[in-house]
Amino acid sequence: MKGKEGETTSQAAKNMTIAWADGKLPSVECMFFASLRYVKPGQSIAEIILQQFPLLVADGISKDIINAALVQRGTMLILDGYNEYRKGTNTEIDDIIEMKILRRCTVVVHELSYISRAPKGR
């Protein structure tokens, strides 16, 4: 998913999770959302998700449960803020984006593209 500066593309990514929760994406059995803005080196995708959504821990969701879900068809992973992520920061995230791992999971990468405009008169 790619959007232009000023558009609410992060909100569009979040709206996908709401649509799923409302049953509007019947082919998606399980969905995870993670912001790439807060990714640290060495974190696993499961650790990233649990850090960003502590209520999952309170509900008894563990890294093992998330990892098991992510390798299944019918699971969607939304990675928001790719434009704020520096490639090489986290090997697992790089491998997910490059489709080296989690190939059965549907991965949606959200990126804001910046449009550079030349000054008038040039």
pLDDT at 59: 96
Average pLDDT score over residue span 56-62: 95
pLDDT at 98: 95
Q: What residues make up the domain containing 99?
A: 2-111
Residue 51 lies in a domain: yes
Residue 61 lies in a domain: yes
Domain of residue 67, CATH code: 3.40.50.300
Residue 120 lies in a domain: no
The whole-angstrom separation of Cα 69 and Cα 103 is: 12
Residue 121 lies in a domain: no
Please count the structural domains in the chain: 1
Residue 117 lies in a domain: no
The whole-angstrom separation of Cα 48 and Cα 37 is: 11
pLDDT at 114: 54
Confidence category of residue 65, pLDDT binned at 50, 70, 90: very high
- pLDDT tens track for 18-46: 899 999 999 999 999 999 998 999 999 99
DSSP 93: H
